Amino acid sequence: MLGCPVNSFAILRVFFIGRPLILSSIRKDAGKEVHTMAERSARPRIKIPKTRSERVWDLIGAVSYFGSVLFLAVVWERLPASVPAHFNAAGEVDRWGSKGELLLLPMMGAFIFFLLHILEKFPEIHNYPRRFNEKNAASFYLASRKMMNQIKNICLAIFAFLLFESASIALGWRDGIGIWLLPIMTAALLFPIVIGIVRQKRIK
């Protein structure tokens, strides 16, 4: 994000651009293309209960998001008129903006949450390799849903962290976010995608 308290758009690029590039590795299976849209519409709809890990991830995301909103509400009156609005690659503030810009972070977090939550609820519309069939559909659905669930909640945690860091710098608690933040955020988002791909590769 390095560009609206660590550029919120960088996170969006990682997910909406980086994810399709990575998922392209599973768009072919033994030289065959993935299912067409017509085939997708014929996929079975299977109700799969949420797993314990998904509930834990949901808890992490909810605590992170609502905790950051509560934190912002508590320190709002103490924040100066100008707050960090952009960071360079070294994690140093290179642009300041009004504290109202901090509201963009929870707003973008909410947008990402609802978008990914909808995708999470309908795994039958996700991309799957040609070997997908009615017998292994539940396994594919669960693997893909888990990946979407983790990405959703990691995004919430990242936006919460960025909000806390930006406010902390504005209040004089910290000097910068450090050079490693962007690589760590990118790795955090790519990790569940890679794990999800590996899980799908193992499905017979």
Measure the CA angle with vertex 35, ends 12 and 187; round to 5°: 30
Q: Domain ranges in the chain?
A: 8-24+52-201
Q: Name residues of the chain where pLDDT drops below 50.
A: 1-34
What confidence score (pLDDT) does residue 43 get? 81
Q: Are 143 and 196 in contact (CB under 8 A)?
A: yes
- Enter the pTM of the model: 0.78
Share of the chain above pLDDT 90, in %: 47
What confidence score (pLDDT) does residue 39 get? 59
- Mean pLDDT of all residues in the chain? 82
Structure-token pair, residue 40: 């997708």
What confidence score (pLDDT) does residue 88 get? 78
Tens-place pLDDT, residues 60-101: 999 999 999 999 999 999 999 888 887 777 777 888 888 899
What confidence score (pLDDT) does residue 157 get? 95
> How do beta strands 82-87 and 32-33 pair?
unpaired
